[in-house]
Structure 1
């Protein structure tokens, strides 16, 4: 297994980066069985991180502002959350597609035909266009997709800001393909469609000439991520911008784009960022009178209100002022270093758990998922400068120590486990002291008052 990972991560960078740009051939990406289809997205993970680092080095060389540590961390935290379901179950899109294909396929196209490959490429991209468009125009689907738009920055780390909810709502749009196209072809192209969209999340690339008429590019996608009035509900493309041109949703890049949600979240808590719109929908629907209004809250656009059109009115959008003020909580350098160090340890644990999930059992995997969610909430609280963040981080480090001692009793010789024990022990001691001093200060302040 380690040899395979080394081959993918270090010996085949050219192949890996070709995949990020959809520069692959039918011969190398056509498979007869699902078991043969590589996990292209998982294999690309190290190249995502390398690309983020390279982007920042280029920005540094050009004298541009680097990514904000809190925003980049938040994007990656959302990315981790969006993949946690894969530790327990197969992807919803693929499972629904296979079920429909086995029961309703009208004619099975040959899996090894280049024409099947090309047709699947076009059908998957068209399906994504409508998934994406409905993700903006139907409130319940926007509840999932809004996570991706919550960043007020625009760089390669933003591409990793994915939703845990959206995949449970978008499978329906791909089912017509299952009438003809084998699941193996669909699984290949649904991955490459996602991989392609990574590189277009950057401000370093301007326009790329005639390809702007055919492909979705950074310029087109910057418009899509904007909250300027001219940007709203435009440029839904995945790979080919022709769908937007055909269906009337294309908009070229104009005035400076201001990124993020129309109503910014103003928190680094990734759990809240994932589910806040869903909570808002539930609360709003409960307050509405009549079933028609309640259903409209769910199935009309996010800007709908009684007496308004299905997608709301552009006049109701808040004014975008330049320069736009971004949500930010200042954290000292040691705080950023601490969070990123422990977050990278969490990513490493994710890789290990993913490789052994079948042997440890679903209960242990579920406990691990809950721990990951607790950890990300704790890091978010630290970035938000919440008073309870210190106590949460103390508890998190204590849990790590207890779990580590339970499964791997500490040995006296110097090993990497010993180093981790020492690291978490010092961290727990540090946050425990800060929590205690904060509690004592509150008691003293209360007595004085």
Structure 2
């Protein structure tokens, strides 16, 4: 498999990209088509920073900060969230461009540093309200809860993104489309997301005066906590000033316990994405009265009849500080098998993204389906669930039959032998259980 992950960034620019430290002169474009795919180009920097975090925590604490099951689930969510982009321009840009072309009131100069900085503030302000509403409106929380479902807090957690959130997040950015060119908006939409990667870590403590202005790891740890003092706090993207202005700020004090207030105890990525939608469906039909049914959808996820809009803090389980994350024990060989096949499917995913302009729509759809099947199977392995053998037999047969990955030479031979051995192994497993 040949990867063509093109990058127009220097090493210095790539490093600064992760901290919103590129200048207007480096990231100003006239047409939206000229804007680079910064998120895709950031992939090696994601990996590099995670390796640094791994090494630092190992030497500092003598243990790894990553659990294989949780980290694979987070990275799977990140992959799933980007797959729709293989089929065309994202809805966030499509909706923005439509408003810009048909309803803009005036046009700020695309090559002005003032426009760049105004877009920086506008995107961050819009993100604050998108993020806040994603916690305060149950239907929006159904998407955003994916990001909070990890009981760990490390850089892999930043990749745990929702497939569905982008289908409503674009609405919050539309006011900017009345005057800010799409090319400028497209840059900051990516930068705002990339900045939030490095703040998902426990290895960085208090950053002094920067804590007053910027969203930092300390502030964002609070946001991911299920302690009572952490609930519905620190919604910032890049600037913490919005939380300070609108009364949603809380500093970090006692030890933060991460995850959902009611953990889902699952690693299968499709269930992680969709479980809250099923909960809403059941609650909606089980709640009497039209008004109450609408409240189930549009009030907070903790709302119940007779309760405040966002629910009661007293209904949230009290944190003892001794909570242990969900961590099913599975054989080492199965963990190794899952990791190897996960690395392979990550390569397939990168290959499809790098070559999407020359691949047919059918090939892309086929690749998307196979990626989803693999990620789901790996998640079920991490849960030590029955039925994995059948899924793996199907998955290995599909790979060998369809020859996914466009490989040649020794790599093709090694991969085919690997998948053939995997197929034989799971076939024997199925026979032995009959």
- Please state whether the residue corresponding to 2:355 is helix, strand or coil: helix
1:374 Cα offset (Å): 1.4
Deviates more, 1:264-273 or 1:385-394: 385-394
2:32 aligned with 1:34: yes
User: Could you tell me whether the CA contact under 8 Å between 2:3 and 2:351 is conserved in 1?
Assistant: no
- Please state whether the residue corresponding to 1:169 is helix, strand or coil: helix
Residues in 1 aligned to 2:430 and 2:116: alpha-carbon distance in whole angstroms: 58
- Please state whether the residue corresponding to 2:425 is helix, strand or coil: helix
| Structure 1 stretches lacking a partner, 5+ long | 441-449
1:315-330 to 2 correspondences below 5 Å: 315-330=314-329
Residues in 1 aligned to 2:56 and 2:371: alpha-carbon distance in whole angstroms: 32
Residues in 2 aligned to 1:357 and 1:100: alpha-carbon distance in whole angstroms: 27
Aligned residue in 1 for 2:359: 360
Residues in 2 aligned to 1:403 and 1:73: alpha-carbon distance in whole angstroms: 25
1:392 Cα offset (Å): 1.1
Deviates more, 1:271-280 or 1:367-376: 367-376
Aligned residue in 2 for 1:446: none
1:6 Cα offset (Å): 6.6
User: Could you tell me whether the CA contact under 8 Å between 1:138 and 1:299 is conserved in 2?
Assistant: yes
Residues in 2 aligned to 1:54 and 1:276: alpha-carbon distance in whole angstroms: 33
1:190 Cα offset (Å): 0.6
1:64 Cα offset (Å): 4.3
2:154 aligned with 1:155: yes
1:281 Cα offset (Å): 1.0
1:5 Cα offset (Å): 4.2
Aligned residue in 1 for 2:415: 420
| Higher-Rg member (1/2) | 1
Larger RCO, structure (CA 8 Å, separation 6 or more): 2
Residues in 1 aligned to 2:12 and 2:55: alpha-carbon distance in whole angstroms: 20
Aligned residue in 1 for 2:249: 250
1:7 Cα offset (Å): 5.7
1:115 Cα offset (Å): 0.5
Aligned residue in 1 for 2:299: 300
Deviates more, 1:348-357 or 1:72-81: 348-357
Q: CA RMSD in A?
A: 1.8
User: Could you tell me whether the CA contact under 8 Å between 1:379 and 1:393 is conserved in 2?
Assistant: no
1:32 Cα offset (Å): 0.1
- Please state whether the residue corresponding to 1:392 is helix, strand or coil: helix
- 1:83-110 Cα shifts (integer Å, max 9, x gaps): 1101112111111100111111111000
1:396-411 to 2 correspondences below 5 Å: 396-404=395-403
Aligned residue in 2 for 1:222: 221
Aligned residue in 1 for 2:428: 433
Deviates more, 1:372-381 or 1:259-268: 372-381
Aligned residue in 2 for 1:195: 194
User: Could you tell me whether the CA contact under 8 Å between 2:104 and 2:179 is conserved in 1?
Assistant: yes
User: Could you tell me whether the CA contact under 8 Å between 2:5 and 2:354 is conserved in 1?
Assistant: no
* TM-score when normalising by structure 1: 0.93
Aligned residue in 1 for 2:12: 14
Q: How many pairs were matched up?
A: 432
Residues in 2 aligned to 1:41 and 1:274: alpha-carbon distance in whole angstroms: 21
1:385 Cα offset (Å): 0.6
Deviates more, 1:225-234 or 1:330-339: 330-339
- Please state whether the residue corresponding to 2:322 is helix, strand or coil: coil
Aligned residue in 1 for 2:346: 347
1:82 Cα offset (Å): 0.4
User: Could you tell me whether the CA contact under 8 Å between 1:52 and 1:156 is conserved in 2?
Assistant: yes
Deviates more, 1:363-372 or 1:414-423: 363-372
In structure 2, do the counterparts of structure 1 residues 4 and 118 end up closer, same or farther at CA, with 3 Å as the change threshold?
A: farther
Aligned residue in 2 for 1:378: 377
Aligned residue in 2 for 1:102: 101
- Please state whether the residue corresponding to 2:151 is helix, strand or coil: coil
Residues in 1 aligned to 2:113 and 2:129: alpha-carbon distance in whole angstroms: 25
Residues in 2 aligned to 1:170 and 1:35: alpha-carbon distance in whole angstroms: 21
Aligned residue in 1 for 2:46: 48
User: Could you tell me whether the CA contact under 8 Å between 1:382 and 1:390 is conserved in 2?
Assistant: no
- Please state whether the residue corresponding to 1:415 is helix, strand or coil: helix
Aligned residue in 1 for 2:23: 25
- 1:150-174 Cα shifts (integer Å, max 9, x gaps): 0000000100100001000111111
- 1:103-160 Cα shifts (integer Å, max 9, x gaps): 1111100000010011000010000000000010001110110000000000001001
Aligned residue in 2 for 1:443: none
Residues in 1 aligned to 2:354 and 2:59: alpha-carbon distance in whole angstroms: 38
